[in-house]
Amino acid sequence: MAERSQHETIHKRTRKKNAARRLTALVTGLWFVLLQLVGTGMPVQAQVEISAPSAILMEASTGQVIFELNATERRCPASITKIMTLLLTFEQIDSGKVSLSDSVITSEYASSMGGSQVFLAQGETQTLDTMIKCIAVASGNDASVAVAEHIAGSEEAFVAMMNDKAQQLGMTDTHFEDCCGLTDSDGHYTTARDVALMSRELITRYPQVYDYTQIWMEDIVHETRQGTVNFTLSSTNKLLKQYPYATGLKTGSTQKAQFCLAATARKDGIDMIAVVMGAPDPKGRFKDAQTLLTYGFNISAMYVDPNTDPLPDLPLERGVEEQVPLVYAGEFRYLDILGRDLSRVEKVTELPPSATAPVEQGRQAGLVRYMLDGVELGYVPLLYGESVAQAVYRDYLYKIFREFLL
């Protein structure tokens, strides 16, 4: 009995030691993975509690994803469909094909839209500027269809433009069947990731959209055969009153989609996009969005180099000129979410000793790398600032003659 008791005691000790070893190995492994992620700059996603089944948090200028939950799960978007409608509208304005002062006539079909509407009458005329307010502020389905018809001739043709644009933006899990999101068809779907992509395109290319999405309440005037009536547009985005940094963007809800929100916010020069899809209740979507935005701003710091410092000219061989000016391709932006010391970022220029003519303006001549503790954060190309032709026989004669005279 004593031997058996002793054997059981030894066995228990061995099991405890093995369990301790396994626990130690697990903790060490997790710590190693954490260090690897930090070392490579990959985000280590914290646990963020939200009620929605699908969501994403993205920084707008860099496109960096900070948080995601089932972000590629196809879902019904409801009225956040109108983000694409707004994007195409501003694109058409920018190209000069339409203008804010255009008169947009409401068709019988547009005026028949149900759901969220601003009660446009058949034949009623509003400026495109007012129609954009009706879409961005009050989520008017009737205004959306009227604008789609004004731009493309029909909603069907406009929806084709929407799907083409979705493909251009890499929205691989999106298909639109209307311009307002009123349909509950299974063929009308998108994802939180794709909504973030089109939201990013809208706010970065056309920041004037904020002039509309930040409106809380504004009156428009209905002028019809029945007379003139004032109508108050009220924002569907309650986050504008609940969150001090909110700038937009679009709400949506149907029985199938439940409650959706693409929320934008700006703080300390950083623009965030939080997309929430399928939230169980209207308050939950705003709470989830605020949770995501606050989390993003709390862990983020932005490094920006506007690249306005002068660059040296690059020596040029066999050209009509002996050197060519250089320009930066643009500014450099890097979002850090790991708490690193961004004052330690180093800027390393890489250029050849010289170039050989001919060179074309806008072509890459070299680049500038941004390094932090030996890790590359990114780079910006250096471009030729002018086109310089290759020298021919008469150019060499001219150079000789000029030097002789001098």
Q: Which are the contacts of 90, defined by CB distance < 8 A and separation ≥ 6?
A: 202, 205, 206, 208, 209
Is 82 designated active site? yes
Per annotation, catalytic residue among 54, 107, 116, 139:
139
Instruction: Encode 75-97: b = buried (16+ Cβ within 10 Å), e = exposed.
Output: bbbbbbbbbbbbbbbbbbbeeee
Cis preceding linkage at 249, omega within 30: yes
Q: What is the DSSP string of 360-378?
A: -TTSEEEEEEEEETTEEEE
Torsion, Cα 114 118 121 124, to 10 degrees, reads: -140
Token duo for residue 215: 């409106």
**Can you name the residues that pair with 65 across neighbouring β-strands?**
58
Dist CA 50 CA 294 (whole Å): 13
Is 79 designated active site? yes
Is 354 designated active site? no
Alpha helices in 41-154 (DSSP H): 82-95, 108-111, 128-136, 141-152
Distance of CA 380 to the CA centre of its chain: 20
Dist CA 269 CA 315 (whole Å): 38
Q: Which helix (H) or strand (E) holds 293?
A: helix 282-299
**Can you name the residues that pair with 56 across neighbouring β-strands?**
68, 275
Catalytic residues: 79, 82, 139
